[in-house]
Chain A
Amino acid sequence: DGGITQSPKYLFRKEGQNVTLSCEQNLNHDAMYWYRQDPGQGLRLIYYSQIVNDFQKGDIAEGYSVSREKKESFPLTVTSAQKNPTAFYLCASSMGRLGNEQFFGPGTRLTVL
């Protein structure tokens, strides 16, 4: 099956810890994206990558970091510098060309204890 997988589905973190969210796609898409979703709000872009070994900050990149060492993988690290990390995190991918839709993973719900 082609698609996007995210793991884990639920993640709990203590304050001061870094955590890494996994995102893998087998759609052969060039571009990948990370979004944050808070209750009752739309999606906000954290980071995006149009090509391997390159990525750009989105609208709310502070306290987050990413890497894109492989085309299939785009992990997101939530660092201790992110002051309010509790949220639903969604990964997406697309062909990267303008007008192409993005395909979304099932999401990871991160809760800070």
Chain B
Amino acid sequence: AQSVTQLDSHVSVSEGTPVLLRCNYSSSYSPSLFWYVQHPNKGLQLLLKYTSAATLVKGINGFEAEFKKSETSFHLTKPSAHMSDAAEYFCVVSDIDSGNTGKLIFGQGTTLQVKP
């Protein structure tokens, strides 16, 4: 069965410094992986997705993630944090075991704090 683990529940960075949010996944197949962002009391917005094309995926707002099969990781990075990046981030894997249902499995989330 697929699963996803976000290794940090809370990450704090200073504005202008790099961001690294870590995610490991477990899957018997070649997974589809996503990163979503959620600002307080809002819905989730897709940042980027990996679907077996290029292993380095570029998303919106300067974020990118690299799919590393050997490490079963899909870490999210950004070269320079902005105050507006402060939010909750979710790493997500598509549930292949349940058949072609499109069900997603969510990590527990990482809260990103950006200090001025």
Please name the 6 residue pairs, one residue from A and one from B, whose CB atoms are nearest each other, closest first.
A99-B32, A104-B43, A42-B106, A104-B44, A43-B106, A106-B43
A104 engages B102 (CB within 8 Å): no
Residues of A near any B CB (own CB < 8 A)? 4, 6, 31, 33, 40-43, 45, 48, 50, 56, 58, 88, 90, 92, 94-107, 109
A105 to nearest B CB, angstroms?
A: 5
A101-B34, A106-B43 given; A50·B101 CB < 8 A: yes
Given A40-B109, A98-B96, A98-B100, 7 more A-B residue pairs with CB atoms under 8 Å apart are: A4-B43, A42-B106, A43-B90, A48-B101, A97-B100, A99-B94, A101-B46
Contact with A along B36-65 (1 / 0, CB 8 A): 100001111110010100000000000000
Residues of B near any A CB (own CB < 8 A)? 9, 32, 34, 36, 41-46, 49, 51, 90, 94, 96, 100-104, 106-109
